Amino acid sequence: MIAGAVAAAGFATGATDAHAQEQCFDKGTLSYVDCPQPPPPPPPPVPVVEVIPPWTGPYVGAHVGWAEGDFDGPVTFNTPFDVGDFDVSGLAFGGHIGYNYQFENNIVVGLEADFTGLGGDDREDNPVTGFPFSESVQVKQNFAGSIRARLGYAIDNVLPFATVGYGLYDYDYSAVALTGAPLSQFNDEELAGGLVAGGGIEWLLNDNISLRGEGLYYFVEEDNTISIPPFPASVIGLDGMLMARGGLSYHF
Protein backbone atom coordinates (compact mmCIF):
# COMPACT_ATOMS: atom_id res chain seq x y z
CA MET A 1 0.00 0.00 0.00
CA ILE A 2 2.77 2.33 1.05
CA ALA A 3 4.93 1.28 -1.95
CA GLY A 4 2.08 2.00 -4.33
CA ALA A 5 1.61 5.48 -2.89
CA VAL A 6 5.31 6.22 -3.31
CA ALA A 7 5.24 5.02 -6.91
CA ALA A 8 2.22 7.17 -7.65
CA ALA A 9 3.88 10.17 -6.10
CA GLY A 10 7.00 9.51 -8.13
CA PHE A 11 4.95 9.27 -11.33
CA ALA A 12 3.25 12.58 -10.57
CA THR A 13 6.57 14.25 -9.83
CA GLY A 14 8.10 12.90 -13.04
CA ALA A 15 5.15 14.20 -15.03
CA THR A 16 5.50 17.60 -13.45
CA ASP A 17 9.24 17.67 -14.13
CA ALA A 18 8.66 16.57 -17.71
CA HIS A 19 6.17 19.34 -18.20
CA ALA A 20 8.50 21.83 -16.60
CA GLN A 21 11.30 20.73 -18.97
CA GLU A 22 8.96 20.87 -21.99
CA GLN A 23 9.00 17.11 -22.58
CA CYS A 24 6.60 15.37 -24.88
CA PHE A 25 5.20 11.81 -24.71
CA ASP A 26 6.50 9.61 -27.53
CA LYS A 27 3.86 7.06 -28.45
CA GLY A 28 6.43 4.86 -30.18
CA THR A 29 8.61 4.37 -27.12
CA LEU A 30 5.86 5.03 -24.57
CA SER A 31 8.14 7.50 -22.80
CA TYR A 32 8.74 11.20 -22.42
CA VAL A 33 11.33 12.78 -24.67
CA ASP A 34 12.55 16.34 -25.21
CA CYS A 35 10.07 18.26 -27.29
CA PRO A 36 11.35 19.54 -30.66
CA GLN A 37 12.57 23.11 -30.33
CA PRO A 38 11.07 25.87 -32.53
CA PRO A 39 13.48 27.42 -35.02
CA PRO A 40 15.33 30.49 -33.73
CA PRO A 41 13.82 33.82 -34.67
CA PRO A 42 15.31 35.42 -37.77
CA PRO A 43 18.00 38.06 -37.17
CA PRO A 44 16.80 41.66 -37.17
CA PRO A 45 17.03 43.33 -40.58
CA VAL A 46 20.19 45.25 -41.27
CA PRO A 47 19.35 48.97 -41.40
CA VAL A 48 19.71 50.45 -44.87
CA VAL A 49 22.02 53.47 -44.81
CA GLU A 50 21.61 55.79 -47.79
CA VAL A 51 25.02 56.67 -49.15
CA ILE A 52 25.02 60.18 -50.61
CA PRO A 53 27.71 60.66 -53.26
CA PRO A 54 30.31 63.17 -52.05
CA TRP A 55 29.62 65.80 -54.73
CA THR A 56 25.82 65.87 -54.38
CA GLY A 57 24.31 68.88 -52.66
CA PRO A 58 24.29 72.68 -52.43
CA TYR A 59 27.40 74.79 -51.84
CA VAL A 60 28.48 78.40 -51.42
CA GLY A 61 31.91 79.97 -51.70
CA ALA A 62 34.26 82.81 -52.56
CA HIS A 63 36.84 83.30 -55.30
CA VAL A 64 39.71 85.61 -56.24
CA GLY A 65 41.76 85.97 -59.40
CA TRP A 66 42.57 88.16 -62.39
CA ALA A 67 40.38 89.49 -65.22
CA GLU A 68 41.30 91.19 -68.48
CA GLY A 69 38.89 92.93 -70.82
CA ASP A 70 39.92 93.29 -74.46
CA PHE A 71 38.92 96.53 -76.23
CA ASP A 72 40.06 97.76 -79.63
CA GLY A 73 40.05 100.93 -81.69
CA PRO A 74 40.37 102.72 -83.81
CA VAL A 75 39.31 105.64 -81.68
CA THR A 76 40.34 108.24 -84.25
CA PHE A 77 39.32 111.77 -83.44
CA ASN A 78 41.80 113.42 -85.76
CA THR A 79 44.32 111.65 -87.95
CA PRO A 80 46.92 110.43 -87.11
CA PHE A 81 45.60 109.94 -83.54
CA ASP A 82 44.56 106.32 -82.98
CA VAL A 83 44.57 104.90 -79.48
CA GLY A 84 44.55 101.32 -80.79
CA ASP A 85 43.85 98.47 -78.39
CA PHE A 86 43.07 98.55 -74.66
CA ASP A 87 43.97 95.69 -72.33
CA VAL A 88 42.02 96.48 -69.19
CA SER A 89 43.18 94.08 -66.47
CA GLY A 90 42.94 93.90 -62.70
CA LEU A 91 41.97 91.98 -59.59
CA ALA A 92 38.79 89.90 -59.63
CA PHE A 93 37.05 88.91 -56.38
CA GLY A 94 33.56 87.71 -55.54
CA GLY A 95 31.30 84.86 -54.52
CA HIS A 96 29.41 81.91 -55.99
CA ILE A 97 26.52 79.60 -55.09
CA GLY A 98 25.41 76.38 -56.72
CA TYR A 99 24.14 72.81 -56.58
CA ASN A 100 25.71 69.54 -57.80
CA TYR A 101 24.20 66.12 -58.43
CA GLN A 102 26.43 63.05 -58.80
CA PHE A 103 25.08 60.01 -60.70
CA GLU A 104 26.08 56.39 -60.01
CA ASN A 105 28.44 56.46 -63.00
CA ASN A 106 30.30 59.43 -61.38
CA ILE A 107 28.97 61.99 -63.86
CA VAL A 108 28.34 65.25 -61.99
CA VAL A 109 25.94 67.91 -63.25
CA GLY A 110 25.30 71.24 -61.58
CA LEU A 111 24.11 74.82 -61.81
CA GLU A 112 26.09 77.79 -60.50
CA ALA A 113 25.65 81.56 -60.26
CA ASP A 114 28.43 84.00 -59.42
CA PHE A 115 29.18 87.70 -59.02
CA THR A 116 32.66 89.19 -59.33
CA GLY A 117 33.90 92.72 -58.68
CA LEU A 118 36.61 93.83 -61.11
CA GLY A 119 39.50 96.26 -60.83
CA GLY A 120 41.70 97.75 -63.52
CA ASP A 121 41.61 100.47 -66.15
CA ASP A 122 43.60 101.56 -69.19
CA ARG A 123 44.17 105.03 -70.61
CA GLU A 124 45.60 106.38 -73.86
CA ASP A 125 46.75 109.98 -74.31
CA ASN A 126 47.90 111.68 -77.50
CA PRO A 127 48.34 115.24 -78.79
CA VAL A 128 46.34 116.29 -81.84
CA THR A 129 48.60 117.21 -84.73
CA GLY A 130 48.24 120.85 -85.76
CA PHE A 131 45.83 121.74 -82.93
CA PRO A 132 46.36 123.04 -79.39
CA PHE A 133 44.52 119.98 -78.07
CA SER A 134 45.37 116.64 -76.59
CA GLU A 135 42.96 113.73 -76.33
CA SER A 136 42.56 111.10 -73.65
CA VAL A 137 40.48 107.90 -73.77
CA GLN A 138 39.97 105.66 -70.72
CA VAL A 139 38.25 102.31 -70.14
CA LYS A 140 37.51 100.86 -66.67
CA GLN A 141 35.95 97.48 -65.84
CA ASN A 142 33.47 97.29 -62.94
CA PHE A 143 31.93 93.84 -62.40
CA ALA A 144 30.92 90.59 -64.05
CA GLY A 145 28.34 87.94 -63.26
CA SER A 146 27.07 84.71 -64.75
CA ILE A 147 24.72 81.77 -64.39
CA ARG A 148 26.16 78.55 -65.80
CA ALA A 149 25.60 74.80 -66.12
CA ARG A 150 28.48 72.57 -65.03
CA LEU A 151 29.37 69.07 -66.25
CA GLY A 152 32.14 66.98 -64.71
CA TYR A 153 33.41 63.50 -63.93
CA ALA A 154 34.24 62.64 -60.32
CA ILE A 155 37.50 60.77 -59.73
CA ASP A 156 37.15 60.16 -56.00
CA ASN A 157 37.66 63.62 -54.48
CA VAL A 158 38.77 65.29 -57.72
CA LEU A 159 36.29 66.82 -60.17
CA PRO A 160 37.43 68.07 -63.59
CA PHE A 161 34.58 70.05 -65.13
CA ALA A 162 33.43 72.19 -68.04
CA THR A 163 30.95 75.04 -67.71
CA VAL A 164 28.82 77.15 -70.05
CA GLY A 165 26.08 79.74 -69.59
CA TYR A 166 25.17 83.41 -69.85
CA GLY A 167 27.37 86.22 -68.53
CA LEU A 168 27.27 89.98 -67.98
CA TYR A 169 30.21 92.40 -68.05
CA ASP A 170 29.94 96.01 -66.83
CA TYR A 171 32.47 98.71 -67.79
CA ASP A 172 32.91 102.47 -68.16
CA TYR A 173 34.50 104.31 -71.06
CA SER A 174 35.26 107.99 -71.35
CA ALA A 175 37.09 110.52 -73.48
CA VAL A 176 38.23 114.07 -72.94
CA ALA A 177 39.73 116.84 -75.08
CA LEU A 178 42.32 118.84 -73.18
CA THR A 179 43.80 122.31 -73.58
CA GLY A 180 45.64 122.07 -70.29
CA ALA A 181 42.16 121.93 -68.72
CA PRO A 182 39.28 119.77 -70.01
CA LEU A 183 37.64 121.33 -73.04
CA SER A 184 34.92 118.76 -73.58
CA GLN A 185 34.36 115.24 -72.34
CA PHE A 186 32.26 112.13 -72.80
CA ASN A 187 31.38 109.41 -70.23
CA ASP A 188 29.23 106.31 -70.47
CA GLU A 189 28.65 102.97 -68.75
CA GLU A 190 27.74 99.76 -70.57
CA LEU A 191 26.46 96.35 -69.44
CA ALA A 192 27.31 93.78 -72.11
CA GLY A 193 25.84 90.28 -72.13
CA GLY A 194 26.66 87.07 -73.96
CA LEU A 195 27.90 83.51 -73.80
CA VAL A 196 30.39 82.56 -71.08
CA ALA A 197 32.29 79.27 -71.15
CA GLY A 198 35.27 77.66 -69.48
CA GLY A 199 36.43 74.85 -67.26
CA GLY A 200 38.54 73.88 -64.31
CA ILE A 201 39.25 71.34 -61.61
CA GLU A 202 37.96 71.07 -58.04
CA TRP A 203 39.37 69.15 -55.04
CA LEU A 204 37.14 67.98 -52.18
CA LEU A 205 39.35 68.24 -49.06
CA ASN A 206 36.74 66.71 -46.72
CA ASP A 207 32.96 66.33 -46.52
CA ASN A 208 32.43 70.10 -46.53
CA ILE A 209 35.40 72.00 -48.00
CA SER A 210 36.64 72.10 -51.59
CA LEU A 211 39.24 74.12 -53.49
CA ARG A 212 39.00 74.97 -57.18
CA GLY A 213 40.86 76.57 -60.03
CA GLU A 214 39.02 77.68 -63.17
CA GLY A 215 39.08 79.91 -66.20
CA LEU A 216 36.12 81.65 -67.87
CA TYR A 217 35.85 83.57 -71.12
CA TYR A 218 33.02 86.04 -71.64
CA PHE A 219 32.09 86.20 -75.33
CA VAL A 220 30.72 89.75 -75.05
CA GLU A 221 31.22 91.86 -78.15
CA GLU A 222 29.82 95.29 -78.90
CA ASP A 223 30.77 98.63 -80.42
CA ASN A 224 30.37 101.88 -78.52
CA THR A 225 30.27 105.37 -80.01
CA ILE A 226 32.33 108.13 -78.42
CA SER A 227 31.19 111.67 -79.22
CA ILE A 228 33.49 114.42 -78.02
CA PRO A 229 33.05 117.84 -79.72
CA PRO A 230 34.63 119.38 -81.70
CA PHE A 231 35.88 116.04 -83.01
CA PRO A 232 33.79 113.64 -85.10
CA ALA A 233 32.26 110.65 -83.35
CA SER A 234 34.39 107.52 -83.12
CA VAL A 235 33.98 103.90 -82.05
CA ILE A 236 35.58 101.72 -79.37
CA GLY A 237 34.86 97.99 -79.51
CA LEU A 238 34.63 95.38 -76.76
CA ASP A 239 35.98 92.01 -77.92
CA GLY A 240 35.55 89.92 -74.76
CA MET A 241 36.84 89.31 -71.24
CA LEU A 242 39.02 86.52 -69.79
CA MET A 243 38.98 85.61 -66.09
CA ALA A 244 41.23 83.18 -64.22
CA ARG A 245 40.48 82.53 -60.55
CA GLY A 246 40.77 80.21 -57.58
CA GLY A 247 38.01 79.53 -55.09
CA LEU A 248 37.01 77.97 -51.78
CA SER A 249 33.56 76.38 -51.35
CA TYR A 250 31.56 75.04 -48.40
CA HIS A 251 29.32 72.04 -49.23
CA PHE A 252 26.18 71.48 -47.16
**Confidence check: pLDDT of 64 > 60:** yes
Asked if residue 100 lies in contact with residue 161, where contact means CB atoms within 8 angstroms, the answer is no
Asked if residue 199 lies in contact with residue 161, where contact means CB atoms within 8 angstroms, the answer is yes
**Confidence check: pLDDT of 227 > 80:** no
**Confidence check: pLDDT of 249 > 50:** yes
Instruction: Name, in order, each residue with C-beta under 8 angstroms of 121's C-beta and a sequence gap of 6 or more.
Output: 88, 90, 138, 139, 140, 141
What proportion of the chain, given as a percentage, has pLDDT over 70?
A: 79
In this predicted model, what pLDDT tens digit does every residue of 149-184 receive, in sequence order?
999 999 999 999 999 999 999 999 888 877 766 667
In this predicted model, what pLDDT tens digit does every residue of 93-146 receive, in sequence order?
999 999 999 999 999 999 999 999 999 998 877 766 666 777 778 899 999 999
pLDDT of residue 27: 76
pLDDT of residue 14: 44
Burial of 112 by CB count in 10 Å (0-12 exposed, 13-18 middle, 19+ buried)? buried
Q: What is the DSSP string of 78-134?
A: STT-----EEEEEEEEEEEEEEEEE-TTSEEEEEEEEEEEE--EEEEEEEPTTSS-E
27 bridge partner residues: none
At 31, the amino acid letter reads S
pTM of the model: 0.75
In this predicted model, what pLDDT tens digit does every residue of 4-40 receive, in sequence order?
444 444 444 444 444 455 788 777 777 888 887 788 8
Integer Cα distance of 214 and 161 in angstroms: 9
